[in-house]
Amino acid sequence: MGYHIAFSKPFQLKPRVCQISLTPSLHFCTSIPTPAPAEDPISPNPETTASPGPKPDPKTETPNVAQEKQFQRIPRAKQQYRSPEKLEDIICRMMANRDWTTRLQNSIRALVPEFDHSLVYNVLHGARKPDHALQFFRWVERAGLIQHDRETHMKIIQILGTCSMLNHARCIVLEDMPKKGFELDEDMFVVLIDSYGKAGIVQESVKMFSKMKELGVQRSVKSYDTLFKVIVRKGRYMMAKRFFNKMLDEGIGPTRHTYNVLIWGFFLSMRLRTAVRFFEDMKVRGISPDVVTYNTMINGYYRLKRMEEAEKMFVEMKAKDIAPTVISYTTMIKGYFEVDRINDGLRLLEEMKSFGIKPNNVTYTTLLPGLCDAGKMTETRGILKEMAMRRIAPKDNTIFLKLLNSHCKAVDLKAAVDVLDAMIKLSIPTEAGHYGILIENFCKAEEYDQAVKLVDKVIENDIILSPQSTLEMESSAYNPVIQYLCSHGQTRKAEILFRQLLKKGVEDPLAFNNLICGHAKEGTPDSAFEILRIMGRKGIPRDANAYRLLIESYLRKGEPADAKTALDSMIEDGHLPDSSMFRSVMESLYEDGRVQTASRVMKSMVEKGLTGNMDLVAKILEALLMRGHEEEALGRIDLLISSQCNVNFDNLLSILSEKGKTIAALKLLDFGLQRDCDIDFKSYDKVLDALLAAGKTLNAYSILCKIMEKAGVTSWKSYEDLIKSLNQEGNTKQADILSRMIKGDDKSHENKKGKKKASVAA
């Protein structure tokens, strides 16, 4: 999309203000440079800040841009003009939003027909990407748009140094600038020395310092101070001492800042004697210590836990009318807390306030953990309240975790809730772990209503799923509240909470089983079974009691098929249901008309070695036979016999014969004869009578032959009727065989009566 810029005259640079006509959907914003961080008095920085770029002279500026009026409808029908946007801001935004290409270069060239050093400096200063800044710097000169001056060179060196693009910065200083005829100065090398030091490349900093002498660049205390800070930051205190002596040999006198840097570095390397010697040498040279010096000494003594010497420095400081700062007091308080002199630290805090010095975030960061460790929770509440009222957040947000734990340990849950409220007031992100501590302790105190309210906040604000959240909720927090919710009719809420935890990788078997139990009790077994499936997919062990409750829930709801599925899953998981559970499922399936399914449950029960509930087993066998599932019934009977269970053949044969299920009776009798089962002769007669009455003479003949072969002649009275029927149907051969069998066996088997026992007690 092109940008339309209206000019009233041939373009001139100053002032560089233009009004852009855009569609309502496109808006620009002015880039505001971020202010540089304040200097830390305890770790002083050398004075290496570059001077700002040259500003255009207002007297020589001539307005040359006609501002195009923009009207926007606002309340009360007032017209509102859009404030003009600076040209360098437009260029910076274009560079930030687009890749560096020829097209971008042409767009910038079309936007600015004439460049000057002020514009280039401001574009470099506002560039958001250092590589784009470097490309812009090289392009404007290579394209002949401008010849860089010292200020633009200095600016790009600072940018590259800050972003650790040190090779480019070095080439510009040591190669490009000499070729262009620029005279190198100390400030450029100070930037390189400091940048290499911040990148941790101390040797390169030393080389740059030595290069200054080779190139004839005059070295002053400024470059020495920069080098000292680089060296002592890495603990090379001996090298620092050597360069200090070299500085003196060159006739360069140290300043107060030089001593501050060196003393700070010696304490950093735990070289107490060296630091004290330089402190005394400073006084000998007539350089009076300032507040930074004393703060550095106090901080060094504190780090070495030598609070008596730190106190002497603090007293000496005040005796010389050097007013202690908030850093002085904070360091002393930190030192007192470090050696368990809490009351002395609190005394200094009151003294500090009496002098009108307000604690800062470092002070609060020092006070709160120390007071918690000392068990002074009343003072802790006061400090936290003051901090929240002043809207000052501590430097370390982990302090709030310590506060929560400390108040909960002291069984002051109201104070713990106040900590959470203070975090919200201070705009500090409250994470799942913070809520978890409160939830856990409210559950321990059996204040479940308060715990549930916190759970509502966690769910409502998606705190668990927040991408910024790094502090997770512990199992000791969510398990008790989930158990409470599931046992008090709020399983749905518990599941919402746990599903959020599940997305964060939490796979707690106890929570899963509590949810299953809760859904089962509340009559929503499908939800419970879905959780069981999730557990199965994740390989999480499932509890037998959860299965039991789930099966009972399905049975109460009148869903025996689902109960059977749950029972199968329970068995697959290695849990053995008891015989009463098997009976409940079988009975429910039987009453629902699912006889074959009930039969499969019976098979599973018997295979697991549970041989009770035989009255229900008999009903299932009878139903299978009555419905024509003879093979399945015989298979179950065979399993029962092999498991040493009694099967009442006589009762089954009697019922089948009376109800006309002759084929089923025939197969059952044949099965019993083959396995020499305990069957009464009266049962034979009933089956034969039923077959003869149904006209199934050949079937009657066949089974009668087997009966006579196995047990001899029966007392059946209808031999002649069967023989007559066989003859009438043309089966004369069978009739003749049967007649001869009866006559031949009458004498030999006339005394064989009764039962042949073959059953074994269960």
Kindly give, in sequence order, each residue whose CB lies less than 8 Å from that of residue 290, ignoring residues fewer than 6 positions away.
256, 260, 322
In a domain, 662, yes or no: yes
The per-residue pLDDT for 389 is: 93
* Closest to 419 (Cα-Cα) out of 436, 442, 402, 433: 402
697-707: b (≥16 Cβ within 10 Å) or e: bebbbebbeeb
Cα torsion at 497, 503, 504, 507 (round to 10°)?
Answer: 80
- 681 pLDDT exceeds 50? yes
- In DSSP notation, 435-454 reads HHHHHHHHHHTT-HHHHHHH
Whole-angstrom Cα distance, residue 632 to residue 614?
A: 17
Token look-up 């909720």 returns 473
Residue 706: domain span: 648-742
Is 325 in contact with 357 (CB distance < 8 Å)? yes
Taking the CA atoms of 251, 256, 259 and 264 in sequence, report the sign of the dihedral they define.
negative
Token look-up 């109460």 returns 556
- 66 pLDDT exceeds 60? no
DSSP annotation of 75 reads G
How are beta strands 20-21 and 17-18 bridged, if at all? unpaired
- 91 pLDDT exceeds 90? yes
Whole-angstrom Cα distance, residue 327 to residue 361?
A: 11
Taking the CA atoms of 686, 691, 697 and 698 in sequence, report the sign of the dihedral they define.
negative
Q: What is the pLDDT of residues 261-285, one digit of tens each?
A: 999 999 999 999 999 999 999 999 9
Whole-angstrom Cα distance, residue 11 to residue 278?
A: 61
Q: CA distances (Å), 246 to each of 249, 258, 683, in order?
A: 5, 14, 124
Cα angle, residue 10 at apex, residues 9 and 16 outer, rounded to 5°: 80
Structural domain total, the chain = 1
* Closest to 311 (Cα-Cα) out of 347, 274, 275: 347
What average pLDDT does the chain have? 84
Token look-up 């002098």 returns 355
Kindly give, in sequence order, each residue whose CB lies less than 8 Å from that of residue 188, ignoring residues fewer than 6 positions away.
153, 154, 157, 173, 177
Q: What is the CA radius of gyration of the chain?
A: 48
In a domain, 694, yes or no: yes
Q: What is the pLDDT of residues 396-437, one digit of tens each?
A: 889 999 999 999 999 999 999 999 999 999 999 999 999 999
Residue 86 phi/psi, 5-degree rounding, is: -70, 150
Q: CA distances (Å), 388 to each of 32, 351, 413, 419, 431, in order?
A: 29, 21, 18, 10, 18
Specify the CATH number for the domain of residue 668: 1.25.40
Residue type, 312: K
SS3 183: coil
- 367 pLDDT exceeds 90? yes
Q: Is 672 exposed, middle or buried (0-12, 13-18, 19+ CB in 10 A)?
A: buried
180-190: b (≥16 Cβ within 10 Å) or e: eebebebbbbb
Question: Taking the CB of residue 490, how many other CB atoms lie within 10 A of it?
Answer: 18
Prior bond of 35 cis (ω within 30°): no
In a domain, 499, yes or no: no
In a domain, 701, yes or no: yes
In a domain, 609, yes or no: no
Token look-up 């020495």 returns 224
Q: What is the pLDDT of residues 373-404, one digit of tens each?
A: 999 999 999 999 999 999 999 888 899 999 99
Token look-up 């290695």 returns 574
Cα torsion at 532, 538, 541, 545 (round to 10°)?
Answer: -10
Residue 678 phi/psi, 5-degree rounding, is: -80, 100
- In DSSP notation, 592-641 reads TT-HHHHHHHHHHHHHTT----HHHHHHHHHHHHHTT-HHHHHHHHHHHH
Kindly give, in sequence order, each residue whose CB lies less than 8 Å from that of residue 554, ignoring residues fewer than 6 positions away.
525, 560, 562, 563, 566
Taking the CA atoms of 739, 743, 746 and 748 in sequence, report the sign of the dihedral they define.
negative
In a domain, 663, yes or no: yes
The per-residue pLDDT for 84 is: 76
Q: Which residues pair with 85 in a beta bridge?
A: 18
Whole-angstrom Cα distance, residue 703 to residue 687?
A: 9
Tokens of 565: 């599925």
Kindly give, in sequence order, each residue whose CB lies less than 8 Å from that of residue 346, ignoring residues fewer than 6 positions away.
379
Q: What is the pLDDT of residues 174-233, one digit of tens each?
A: 999 999 999 999 999 999 999 999 999 999 999 999 999 999 999 999 999 999 999 999
Q: What is the pLDDT of residues 435-452, one digit of tens each?
A: 999 999 999 999 999 999
Greatest CA separation found in the chain?
150
The per-residue pLDDT for 741 is: 77
Task: Work out the pLDDT band at 308, boundaries 50, 70, 90.
Answer: very high
Taking the CA atoms of 505, 511, 517 and 520 in sequence, report the sign of the dihedral they define.
negative
Q: Which helix (H) or strand (E) holds 85?
A: strand 85-86
Q: What is the pLDDT of residues 573-619, one digit of tens each?
A: 888 898 889 989 999 999 999 999 999 998 999 888 887 777 888 89
Residue type, 129: K
The per-residue pLDDT for 745 is: 53
Q: CA distances (Å), 669 to each of 271, 628, 665, 674, 683, in order?
A: 105, 15, 6, 9, 9
Residue 705 phi/psi, 5-degree rounding, is: -60, -40
Mean pLDDT for the stretch of residues 520-538: 88
Q: Which helix (H) or strand (E) holds 18?
A: strand 17-18
Mean pLDDT for the stretch of residues 335-343: 93
Whole-angstrom Cα distance, residue 482 to residue 761?
A: 50
Whole-angstrom Cα distance, residue 16 to residue 65?
A: 8
Spell out where 300-350 has E strands. Answer: none
- 41 pLDDT exceeds 60? no
What's the 3-state SS for 34-51?
CCCCCCCCCCCCCCCCCC
* Dihedral class, residue 385 (left if φ above 0, else alpha if ψ from -120 to 50, else beta): alpha
Whole-angstrom Cα distance, residue 270 to residue 275?
A: 9
Cα angle, residue 399 at apex, residues 397 and 401 outer, rounded to 5°: 95
- 1 pLDDT exceeds 70? no
In a domain, 103, yes or no: no
Whole-angstrom Cα distance, residue 320 to residue 307?
A: 20
- 122 pLDDT exceeds 90? yes
The per-residue pLDDT for 717 is: 67
- pLDDT higher at 473 or 55: 473
In a domain, 170, yes or no: no
Q: pLDDT exceeding 90 applies to what percent of the chain? A: 58
Taking the CA atoms of 555, 557, 559 and 565 in sequence, report the sign of the dihedral they define.
negative
The per-residue pLDDT for 315 is: 95
Task: Work out the pLDDT band at 17, boundaries 50, 70, 90.
Answer: very low
Task: Cite the DSSP H helix spans in 490-524.
Answer: 491-503, 509-521
